[in-house]
């Protein structure tokens, strides 16, 4: 996969015309792009090329996009944008629950897809810059709430000293809440913090990703310790005692 100042994107799409169109738009936006059309080939391409962003169609020959995502998440933390052929909540929720970061429903605007990919790349760069700054400035970006520790400089989460493995999006959501203890943040605010204010992402993304975060933290949904739902608004992280 060719290097590019904007990052590397792997497009997995079995419709040749659509794959060509998406690839051309991404190349025009100065991304290094590789296109594959088969699920098994996609897994190997991620392993070989380590893309920054994976644009993944769900309906693929060989193995479908869900299985590709399941296998990729074993060894890669690249951002994943899922393409789904139907405006189907089940497809969206399954994709997100397997570790996708965002989704676009077909038919879609290629310009919107490029904007989503650019937003993911900005997130990756801003996270890296924050990590450098936090490592240089003692104490910045580290939050301790009871047994929960969130370390932005190392991008690590621990509960009672044990590591909690989160995807990039899950970590960014948790860190955004931890950085604003006892403050109710709306879903739109969280989308602007994590996905970027210039992208019109579905607010349902926040609910699905935070449900995964809560499970990984061992939260009791009925009586949460750390992340509280603020009815009609969004979410609030309980502050240090």
Amino acid 62: pLDDT: 82
Closest CA to 83 of 50, 117, 46, 45: 117
Quick check: bond before 107 cis, omega within 30?
yes
- The reported pLDDT for the residue numbered 198 is 58
pLDDT tens-digit map of 71-98: 999 999 899 999 987 666 778 888 888 8
CA angle 215, 162, 47 (to 5 degrees): 75
**Model pLDDT, residue 125:** 56
Name 169's Cβ contacts closer than 8 Å, sequence gap at least 6: 79, 101, 194, 209
How many Å is the Cα radius of gyration of the chain?
18
pLDDT, position 221: 76
Q: What stretch(es) of the chain map to CATH 3.40.50.2300?
A: 8-122
CATH class, range 137-237: mainly alpha
Which residues of the chain are modeled with pLDDT < 50? 4, 128-139
Q: Where does the chain hold its CATH 1.10.10.10 domain(s)?
A: 137-237
Query: Residue 3: its pLDDT value, please?
Result: 55
pLDDT at position 1, please? 58
Length of the chain: 241
* Beta-carbon count within 10 A of 82 CB: 25
CATH 3.40.50.2300 holds for 8-122? yes
């Amino acid at each position: 996969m060719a290097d590019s100042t904007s990052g590397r994107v792997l497009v997995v799409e079995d419709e040749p015309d659509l794959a060509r169109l998406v690839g051309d738009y991404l190349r025009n936006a100065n991304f290094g792009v590789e296109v594959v059309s088969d699920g098994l080939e996609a897994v190997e391409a991620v392993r070989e090329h380590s893309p920054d962003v994976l644009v993944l169609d769900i309906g693929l020959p060989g193995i479908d996009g869900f299985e590709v995502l399941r296998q990729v998440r074993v060894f890669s933390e690249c951002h994943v944008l899922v393409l789904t052929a139907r405006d189907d909540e089940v497809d969206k929720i399954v994709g997100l629950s397997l570790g996708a970061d965002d989704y676009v429903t077909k038919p879609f605007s290629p310009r919107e897809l490029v904007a989503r990919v650019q937003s993911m790349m900005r997130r990756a760069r801003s996270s890296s810059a924050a990590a450098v700054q936090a490592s240089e400035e003692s104490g910045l970006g580290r939050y301790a709430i009871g047994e929960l520790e969130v370390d932005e400089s190392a991008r690590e989460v621990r509960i009672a000293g044990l590591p909690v493995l989160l995807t990039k999006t899950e970590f960014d959501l948790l860190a955004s809440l931890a950085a604003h203890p006892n403050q109710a943040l709306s879903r739109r605010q969280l989308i602007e913090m994590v996905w970027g204010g210039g992208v019109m992402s579905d607010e349902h993304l926040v609910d699905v990703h935070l449900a995964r975060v809560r499970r990984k933290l061992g939260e009791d949904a009925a009586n949460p310790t750390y992340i509280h739902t603020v009815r009609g608004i969004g979410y609030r992280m309980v502050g240090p005692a």
